[in-house]
Structure 1
Amino acid sequence: MIKTRILFVLILAIALGCEENTQQDSKEKDETTNSLTVKPSLSARFHYLLNYEVDSTKFPRSLEENKEVRGVGSSDWTSGFFPGSMIYLYHLTGEKKYLDRAEQWIPFMEREQWNGRTHDMGFKVYSSIGKAYEITQNEHYKAVLIQSAKTLMTRFDPKVGCIKSWDFGQDRWQYPVIIDNMLNLELLFQATRLTGDSSYHQAAVSHATLTMENHFRSDNSSYHVVDYDVETGQPVQKITHQGLNDESVWSRGQGWGLYGFVMAYRYTQNPAFLAQAEQIADYLMTLDNLPEDKIFYWDMKDPSIPDAPRDASAAAVIASALLELNENTTDERYAPFALAILDAMDSEAYILPAGLTVPFLLGHSTGNYPKDDEIDQPIAYADYYFLEALYRSMRSGQ
């Protein structure tokens, strides 16, 4: 069975035998957490993340072609994924040293709670501080999450009904809303739970509803950018910024949409959001040119397929979303599809070799193909969603 090839239960000291100070590590283990691990080729890479030097200016984002780590500050939209990955390593291994290391990075994220120049508050703050709060219930983290939601709300225009994505490109659009923005709604949904203030929840529902109405084509594929008229609140153009062209199928964007609507259903129980997620999943799972290993090409309409670059990050996002979707439906196709993705990733074809001493797990992701940037490289958010998907599969017993 696929699942038995992805996960197996071992004595942690054996599975992580390549790591130093094993006896000390076992003493630090949280006794309430199961010691579930993944294949040794993957677990052999964990210590590279753990031992990467904490530096407020060098959150690992990706690997350059010369094998140097591209480090970024907290303002970069990817900054929260590395500490978030450490938190998932804590969940997967039961070893508190990973949570402790994540919490060494988190103080450098906190300044973002005041950064109203970006819509990426959820990506940055919730994937790091939000995930830490789920475990620790730290009141300081709670306060940061609430302030972050307040800051994100400054980008919500009631006339449009959506959160504005970008402040750049005024010559190209008036009020751009990208499909990626669905992922930032979790911060707003959580803010209502933390404060009792329903305005955050209402804004998130409005944004998701308009995204459902305006971002999707009749075949349930998604546009990347919908531009709204600031006076009328109506869509004026539907374009791309990272896909091959306006009518193409940028794979990570499809993943953002799927993940976003499954998450929105979790918080609202709105059947329309669940139906939207199912329709996106059906579209993705039945693509004619889907690779045999189900690791999507960066854009599924790239004419150079099958020679087009893959995007492991898109596949990881989709796998994680499908596992949550599986928990909310009776459709038996979702989990096997997700597990097939994880099985392909947890292999020599995608796991970086043990001798490559960089703080990443997966290769073969595509960042921004139109700008020829981060092509076929390790990228932090691929690792984050891959680890989240592994954790979800373990937690559900898949």
Structure 2
Amino acid sequence: MIRANDPALHSWIEIAADSEFPIQNLPFGIFSTPERDPRVGVAIGEYILDLCVLGRRDFFVLTDLDPTVFHRPSLNDFIALGKPIWRAVRNRVSELLRNDNDEISGNSDLIRDCLVKQSDAELLMPVHVPNYTDFYSSLQHATNVGSMFRGPENALLPNWRHLPVGYHGRASSIVVSGTAIHRPKGQTRAPDAAAPTFGPTRQLDFELEVAFIAGRETALGQSITPYEAEDYIFGLVLFNDWSARDMQAWEYQPLGPFLAKSFASSTSPWVVTLDALEPFRVKGPEQDPRPLPYLEFLGSRHYDINLEVLLQPQGSGPVSISRTNTKHLYWSMGQQLAHQSSNGCNLQVGDLYASGTISGPGNGSYGSMLELTWQGTQPLQLPDGSERRFLEDYDTVIMRGFGERNGIRIGFGELKTQVLPAI
């Protein structure tokens, strides 16, 4: 186990006991301030450690590491250096922040130069995303949606338990937390109508997901195994894959999601490394039938990460509407990436792979409005007296996620997005 995960570690920076960014986490991101152009930072408590400043002052004397890699508008160049470098940098940051190390803490001018309050910074897109794949890996979600549209007896299509179903989404419309989105427009057809109409969606929905960032490329024609996959994964983010359900129902046959999904997807700004999530490994659900050999794996390849969705109507406070966990996913990240590459599709650094909506076994653990309101037939009753079948203009959706063990909480921060009217 990497020493940076030791629950006994403490930082010289004061960190609240319930903080999602203790010294055991140290997620990477991109930030800027009026005085600092975009650069790489690490979250620690309420602060950001500016790696650009530390790199210029030779705090990272590592093989093949050019310190200017921290002065970039995305993490891609740093990620491309490979897992040994990510791990060495995270371990070095941990060392610098420990309460028994005075390399930074003993220099008040350096503290002022390299520490920025998160509240004083703008958190930016952490990576440039060349390609985006969205999977459909939650058994409960697939069963719920299939039951709505095909009946319980035909809920899962014949291929679902044999492969991680997915599709290629639109990378250019992925935005970072805090970026408002506009209600999309498209074709819909009412059940009793002979022809479609065009206009703003009336069934805007969120999808609670996690996504992983590819950290290593492959050559065209090369494939990898589920066991090799973790060497190709840099870390995880929270992900909201917005959906216009009425547009999707009309357009998706025969080729699948298109305009109902491509208008926007939202990601949290901090990328939590697999090293930081190591304490939260768990075995996944039993897979029946047994996967084909190229998807088989043994051991604990899933993660125990608590997830929550809050809905905040304009002028009201946020209310929790769903709680679930990534351990409910049927297909693991390793299987997803192995399947993606199995036909020889080449992977690129910064590629984003989303889990698909994550739903648990009960109504309060469903990861979309489609399920929480059962296609709008059972509206949510909110404390302000309003109800929701789907999202309304000026609603804000907030997603949170964290693992917790041995009194240490490893979190992702908030993924927060407001819905604006259609343009």
Asked which structure has the greater RCO (Cα within 8 Å, sep 6+), the reply is 2
Bigger fraction of residues in helix: 1
**Which of the five TM-score ranges fits, normalised by the shorter chain?**
under 0.3
TM-score (norm 2): 0.25
TM-score (norm 1): 0.26
